C-alpha cells in the first residue's frame, strides 16, 4: 500500500494524476483500477492518447480504455475483444507517438487455435470490424467440444477456479486427463 495526500492506495491499484497537478504539489490521485478478490491487473499501455488496461476477474480477461479529460477520465469497456481463454493486447505501433488506435490481440483457448487479430479502438463502439491477421492451424477437430468454468473447494474452503473441456452434451461420466499446479507461484491461465 501507498499513502499519499491522506489516501491509502492498495498494492496493484492503477492511479493517475495530471503531470501539471503533480508538479504543482497536488497529490490527489484518481483510481482507474482497484484490485480485489479474484481481480488482478495484468498490464496497461498507452495508445493514441488513451490508456488501455488488461485485468482478470476470476481468470476471465477484461479490457478497458481510459481517455484523460480536463476534469476526469472517460472509461470505455472493450467488451468485443475476446473474453475467453488467454488474451493479450498490445499497441500495433511500438512508438507511443505513432500509435493511431490500432491494437494487436492474440487470443486462444483450449479448443481454439491461437490467432492474431487487429482491432481499431477508434472505430465504432461495436468494434465488429476486427481483422484476423494470422491463425494457427487446428490440431484436432474441436466440433462438439465446449470449455466450461467451475470451482473446486479446497480443504480450507477456498474456491479454486478451473476450466474443463468436454462434449457440449456431456453428463460428467467420462474419463479425464487432469493437469494442475500446486500453488508454487506458477499460475496457469485457461
For 5-46, the pLDDT digits (tens) are 889 999 999 999 999 999 999 999 999 999 998 899 999 999
Asked if residue 161 lies in contact with residue 180, where contact means CB atoms within 8 angstroms, the answer is no
Residues 6+ apart with CB under 8 A from 83: 60, 61, 62
pLDDT at residue 184 is higher than 70: no
Kind plus residue range of the DSSP H or E element containing 114: strand 112-120
Instruction: List C-alpha distances in Å: 146 to 14, 99, 107, 149, 168.
Output: 35, 37, 16, 10, 5
Interval 40-67: pLDDT, tens: 999 999 999 999 999 999 888 999 999 9
Q: Write down the domain spans for the chain.
A: 1-35
Specify the higher pLDDT residue, 187 or 21.
21
pTM score of the predicted model: 0.83
Amino acid at each position: 500500500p501507498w499513502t499519499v495526500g491522506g489516501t491509502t492506495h492498495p498494492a496493484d491499484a492503477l492511479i493517475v494524476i495530471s503531470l501539471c497537478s503533480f508538479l504543482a504539489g497536488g497529490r490527489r490521485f484518481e483510481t482507474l483500477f482497484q484490485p480485489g478478490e479474484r481481480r488482478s491487473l495484468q498490464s496497461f499501455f498507452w495508445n493514441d492518447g488513451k490508456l488501455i488496461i488488461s485485468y482478470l476477474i476470476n481468470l476471465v480477461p477484461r479490457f478497458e480504455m481510459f481517455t484523460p479529460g480536463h476534469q476526469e477520465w472517460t472509461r470505455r469497456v472493450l467488451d468485443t475483444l475476446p473474453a475467453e481463454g488467454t488474451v493479450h493486447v498490445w499497441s500495433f505501433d511500438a512508438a507511443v507517438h505513432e500509435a493511431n488506435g490500432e491494437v494487436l490481440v492474440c487470443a486462444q483457448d483450449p479448443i481454439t487455435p491461437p490467432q492474431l487479430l487487429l482491432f481499431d479502438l477508434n472505430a465504432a463502439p461495436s468494434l465488429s470490424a476486427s481483422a484476423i491477421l494470422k491463425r494457427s492451424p487446428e490440431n484436432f477437430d474441436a466440433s462438439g467440444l465446449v470449455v466450461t468454468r467451475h470451482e473446486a473447494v479446497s480443504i480450507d474452503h477456498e474456491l479454486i477456479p478451473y476450466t474443463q473441456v468436454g462434449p457440449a452434451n456431456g453428463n460428467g461420466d467420462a474419463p479425464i486427463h487432469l493437469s494442475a499446479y500446486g500453488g508454487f507461484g506458477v499460475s496457469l491461465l485457461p
